[in-house]
Structure 1
Amino acid sequence: MTKRLTTTAGAPIADNQNSLTAGARGPVLMQDYQLIEKLAHQNRERIPERVVHAKGWGAFGTLKITGDISKYTRAKALQPGSETPMLARFSTVAGEQGAADHERDVRGFALKFYTEEGNWDLVGNNTPVFFIRDPYKFPDFIHTQKRHPRSNLRSPTAMWDFWALSPESLHQVTILMSDRGLPTTPMHMNGYGSHTYSLWNDAGERFWVKFHWKTQQGHSHYTNAQGAEITGQTREGYQESLFGSIEAGDFPRWTLQVQIMPEADAEKTPYNPFDLTKVWPHADYPPIEVGVMELNRNADNYFAEIEQAAFSPSNIVPGIGFSPDKMLQARIFSYADAHRYRLGTHYEALPVNAPKCPVHHYHKDGSMNFMGQQTGAQDAYYEPNTMGGAAQDPAVAEPPLRIDGDADRYNHRDGNDDFSQPRALHDLMNDDQRARLYMNTAETMQGVPAEIIDRALANYDQVSPAYGDGIRAALACLAGSKDAAE
């Protein structure tokens, strides 16, 4: 039986083809509330896109725990044998919603786990490090990735000017310009929590942790030329591949691994383990296999379930905690705040963001409060109360985070070695991989003033003379090709 079309208030609609007018040739009447509702909703079909990670692709699935890390964490979602429903969203960082999928860029790797103790969000990238280590520089960095305010074009000069003045970016830029900077599909890349988080157990012991999601599909990448060719055919290659594979029953999987560091070790490592531009050597802290994430269901409505999905590092559950990572500390605020602006005060009550467990809080009113009071008792709209409202539970208290030091604006570049880890990564590559790395880097420098390129090359020389010379040779090759063409 065909369902009856109605207004949003539920009133049946007799005619959805023709406006209400004064005669066949007359003007439209203001009383045509159905027309006004339809036009007004169309005007509001778009919400502000994300400032970063605007273009994204997502799907639902399950996290199954096959290993045992119960001695490190009390989190129920990480206990042996547990299965947790989840949502994943992959994205590019720099491009707008209409950008092409196959552009060289870092990919976002955001996960939401609907656990029985509340939502746990792990919001990372497909790289284990990032361009900066101090959140005070994040708005500046993102400005260099976006459009120039005068030309409204992307600016390689701004990008390289910032990177050349920020040697801590060398590690991430090396990954970005390597083969892994342009994965063929979302399924053929790793994901990382990137930040240092912490786990804590029933005994109140804390451990530092790095989360890794290793693709079971294998790594597959495009060159810049291949990416440009595909973009000429489709701008939606990632959406097509992820959606299509799941529709066909070819469910992608990732293996969850963790690196565990005893709390006291953070005072002994030669590098700062809370520095987002650094990795933990696997030889020192070997990855432990924990479980498998499988994506097996596409969204029924992309806008409602992927575009309105809101991920934030502030969403943790008992047994998982934070660390002194400066970038993480800032993201705990900034992500949730971005969602309040973009989606509204009660964004976590939207179905895709709503926890699957009971929710009780004393947040009140505001725009789009469609769920009413959630305090657990009708007369309890403040706390403490004697009205039977929700109350705190000391049993889930996290152990204290031990932080020493005087409050100051410490220079995040003083005493930091920003060259050793990029050097180790560079030296791991074979000759062909390094040749592509040099050429990819040189291609992004086209049109950048010579003094900025020279400053960047001086940084690469400190990583390895071969690295700097390799980029110089690639620049000379590109210049020769240009002269020959002219």
Structure 2
Amino acid sequence: MKEYPMAKKKQPANGTSAARRNTDATGGETRQQATAKTGALTTAQGIPVSDNQNSLRAYSRGPTLLEDFILREKITHFDHERIPERIVHARGSAAHGYFELTKPLSKYTTAKFLTEKGRIPVFCRFSTVAGGAGSVDTPRDVRGFAVKFYTQEGNFDLVGNNLPIFAIQDAMKFPDFIHAVKMEPDRGFPQAASAHDTFWDFVSLSPETLHMVMWAMSDRGIPRSLRMIEGFGIHSFRLVNAKGESTFVRFHWRPKLGLQSLVWDEAVKLQGADNDFHRRDLFEAIDSGAFPEWEFAVQLFTEEEADQFPFDHLDATKLIPEELVPVQVVGRMVLDRNPNNHFAENEQVAFCPANMVPGIDFSNDPLLQGRLFSYLDTQLSRLGGPNFTQIPINAPKCPFGHHQRDAHMQMQVPKGRVAYEPASLDKDGSMPNGRETPNGFRSFAEPAPDDGRKGRTRAASFADHYSQPRMFWRSQTAIEQAHIASAIVFELAKVEDDPVRERTIAQLRNIDEELARRVADGLGMATLPLAAPAAAETLDLPLSKAITLIPKMKQTLEGRCVGILVADGSDAKAVATLREAAEAAGATVKLVAPKRYVALKGGKPRKADGQLAGTPSVLFDAVACVLTPDAAKTLATEAAALDWFRDAFGHLKAIAACGGTRTHILPAAGIAPDQGVVDSGDVDRFIKLAKTRQWAREPNLRTLP
């Protein structure tokens, strides 16, 4: 593990001292308090609640206690608010595949799927968070990334997101966070969007959310494809070896195709062009044999190393920089089969962080501790009862035996008179149940601190809400910073309540003064509000190249799609040359024509892949055209054709334009060709340019201060 340089401390913009910030009653982020003048908060039984921000723990960094009836009531009710649709992650796409271990971790764990080379089946589901099952694929949102490993020792579920951090530190706040981001309950909108008052009201009052908000407002919030997102387990887990020794681990997925995002206007127009854009992309890729693949990687660190971090790794709002703890690739996942039935598999699959196998254990992350209860509770309601484990997609593929009986939707027929343990009445050995085994799951025997006291508390090490968001912002390229600032301006411009905008910008000042100023300018605010009080000093942490996106994009056409606009009389040979070059580079090619059927010169009449008005250029990563001069002149008078090129140019895509297009269509569309627009005969240059976006065309760069 690399030595971490000393971090510099950033003084608050308004000159408030650290001591004052820590004691300021209005700024205690470590222990936020409700201040609404609406009477006492109580449980459903009328019991007054003294702390609605923190769950009950054995000690400040200890495990959450089952006796916390306030947490259990709050989450139980929340889990049952939607029937039968998932409360969150309702809109999902999934696929079957396999996991293959390439580097055994026998030194660290006894889990067989991490110590024995070979392949095991997996089922992977991607999802948006905020929208319902009927919402669109491409809103600005976090993406769920959940993988069910069907191991020899039972099912292991790695339930994560495409971001390495979460918005809250304690599961007690999960219902509040989701209630805030969901459509506003009095009006039922906006659907699948965070640009509204209740979300930003919660954010402006909850500085712990800011790190995830920064990631969501970045290009990570609008991915090009589910095949081009990273996945993260978010929490620290423990690996436990044969000696009972523990090593902390964070899990990562890295896409073989590299990262790629949309630009905002492109994402908005995709919502109209194809609500199922991501789902269709994943299905068609697998159906064509272009199987998506991810590297499986880990960050490993000891308790002693964790104690040296300038943050608390048990805080789910914090990432562990790869420069601090390197990421080691130990396996891969390939998705090679689409579901046979969307409902039976995608809708009925039940992921749960509590599905754990021997050799892996939980940490005391208070968000993770709450999730262990919440997922199972939700599934009991959504899937009809405790026998949801018998649904084929959820059933383990290894032998299993237990004493659970009856209940709703029991599909098995257990035999014998014994359904308990210990027992001696199974004299003929027919009881189909298991017995305790020394090789079974064991919790790591973590020593408790001598001064441990249970209470509703949040560790002081969780108090720094701004240093990592500041690191994230400062690590981005100028283009990415422009995107983040524009995204926040767009979101806050939808907010009707002025104090919410002001409080949000007051929080942003603790991340970066320039960011706050740019957002305020975009909203037309003449002055900046005072920086919000902070519970801990903001540190200038070392920058991390690993958390950028644009520099990590692969310059490739593999997994991408090129659209070629043709019409009657287009040169079939020129079209074939473009197609062959793009396909040789790994792209899928689709022909678009004014009508669904087209007759190319020198070729047979054929059915186009898409009709121009219904197949906009937002569906492609690069576009080309092969038109006769007369066809180009005609199309220059049609809005669909002008928008096809105007959007491609505005979305920074490479364009291969024929002579007629240069003469008639581009001028009519108001396009002044740049270096990203080449002649359709210059195939090699077009293929090279098509492998990336034309960032020099980015409007935000021309307006940077």
Same fold (TM over 0.5): yes
Matches within 5 A, 1:102-251: 102-154=138-190, 156-251=196-291
Deviation of 1:446 (Å): 1.8
TM-score (norm 1): 0.86
CA contact (8 A) 1:253 1:294 kept: yes
Structure 2 CA distance for aligned equivalents of residues 442 and 341 of structure 1? 39
Alpha-carbon distance, 1:403 to partner: 3.9
Structure 2 SS opposite 1:359: coil
The answer to whether the Cα contact below 8 Å between 2:166 and 2:316 also exists between their aligned partners in 1 is: yes
CA–CA distance in structure 2, aligned partners of residues 171 and 195 of structure 1: 15
- Cα offset for 1:390? 2.2
Match of 2:332 among 279, 286, 292: 292
Residues 90 and 110, structure 1, Cα contact 8 Å, conserved in 2 = yes
Tell me how far apart the structure 1 counterparts of residues 326 and 448 of structure 2 sit (CA, whole Å).
Answer: 26
Q: Does 1:468 align with 2:516?
A: yes
Task: Give the whole-Å Cα distance in 2 for the aligned partners of 1:415 and 1:234.
Answer: 42
- Residues 110 and 124 of structure 1 are in contact (CA less than 8 Å); yes or no, is this contact kept in structure 2? yes
Aligned to 1:55: 91
Who is 1:27 aligned against?
none
Structure 1 counterpart of 2:503: 455
State the distance in 2 between where 1:281 and 1:444 align.
28
- Unmatched segments (≥5 aa) in structure 2: 1-81, 526-705
Residues 35-86 of structure 1 show CA distances to partners (whole Å, capped at 9, x for unaligned) of xxxxxxxxxxx97110000000000001111113210111111125221100
Give the stretch that moved more between structures: 398-407 or 136-145.
398-407
Q: Distance in 2 between matches of 1:476 and 1:64?
A: 53
**Contact 1:102-1:237 within 8 A present in 2 as well:** yes
Give 1:458 shift. 1.0
Cα distance per residue 1:270-318 (max 9 Å; x no partner) = 3111100001122221111111110000011111011100000010111
Q: 1:131 to 1:413 in 2, by over 3 A?
A: farther
- Cross-structure match for 1:400: 445
- Counterpart of 2:417 in 1: which secondary structure? coil
**CA deviation map 1:121-158 (0-9, x unaligned):** 00000000011001111101100111222111137111
Query: In 2, distance between residues paired with 1:331 and 1:63?
Result: 25
Among 317, 320, 336, the residue aligned to 1:277: 317
- The question of whether the paired residues in 1 share the 8 Å contact of 2:83 and 2:381 is answered with no
CA RMSD of aligned residues (A): 1.7
Identity score, percent: 39
The residue that corresponds to 1:356 in the other structure is: 397
Show the counterpart of 1:91: 127
User: Which residue is equivalent to 2:406?
Assistant: 365
User: What does the per-residue CA deviation read over 1:395-429, in whole Å, with 9 as the maximum and x for residues that have no partner?
Assistant: 33343133432111114677611111111111111
Q: State the alpha-carbon separation in 1 of the partners of residues 141 and 105 from structure 2.
A: 34
Q: Which residue of 1 aligns with 2:672?
A: none
| Counterpart in the other structure of 1:433 | 480
Does the 8 Å contact 2:145/2:160 carry over to 1? yes
Classify 1:411/1:343 alpha carbon distance in 2 versus 1 (closer, same or farther; 3 Å).
Answer: same
Give 1:394 deviation, angstroms. Answer: 2.6
**In 1, distance between residues paired with 2:332 and 2:438?**
32
Equivalent AA in structure 1 for residue 439 of structure 2: A
Alignment partner, residue 383 of structure 1? 421
Residue pair 2:203, 2:209 contacting (<8 A) in 1 also: yes
Measured in 2, the distance between the counterparts of 1:382 and 1:461 equals 60
TM-aligned CA distance change 1:62 to 1:415, over 3 Å = closer
CA contact (8 A) 1:204 1:398 kept: no
Structure 1 residues 367 and 422 mapped into 2: Cα distance closer, same or farther (>3 Å)? same
Shift of 1:180: 1.0
8 Å CA contact 1:56, 1:92 repeated in 2: yes
Paired with 1:337 and 1:413, the residues of 2 have a C-alpha distance of: 31
Contact 2:312 2:461 survives alignment (8 Å): no
8 Å contact kept, 2:214–2:484:
yes
From the superposition, tell whether residues 238 and 415 of structure 1 become closer, same or farther in structure 2 (CA, over 3 Å): closer
CA distance in 2, matches of 1:139, 1:455: 22
Question: For this pair of structures, how many residues does the alignment match?
Answer: 429
Q: Distance in 2 between matches of 1:198 and 1:313?
A: 13
Query: Which of these two proteins has the greater Rg computed from alpha carbons?
Result: 2
Contact preservation (8 Å) 1:164, 1:455: yes
Q: Contact conserved, 1:134 with 1:412, CA < 8 A, in 2?
A: no
In the TM superposition, structure 1's runs of 4+ consecutive aligned residues that sit over 6 Å from their partners are: none
Question: In structure 2, do the counterparts of structure 1 residues 80 and 475 end up closer, same or farther at CA, with 3 Å as the change threshold?
Answer: farther
Deviates more, 1:132-141 or 1:144-153: 144-153
Measure the CA separation in 2 of the matches of 1:414 and 1:67. Answer: 34
Whole-Å separation in 1 of the counterparts to 2:522 and 2:483: 9
| Separation in 2, partners of 1:415, 1:205 | 26
Q: Does 1:73 align with 2:109?
A: yes
- Code of the aligned partner of 2:416: Q
Provide the residue aligned with 1:339 in structure 2: 379
Conserved in 2, the CA contact under 8 Å of 1:131 and 1:172? yes
Where does the alignment leave 5 or more consecutive residues of structure 1 unmatched?
A: 1-45, 478-486
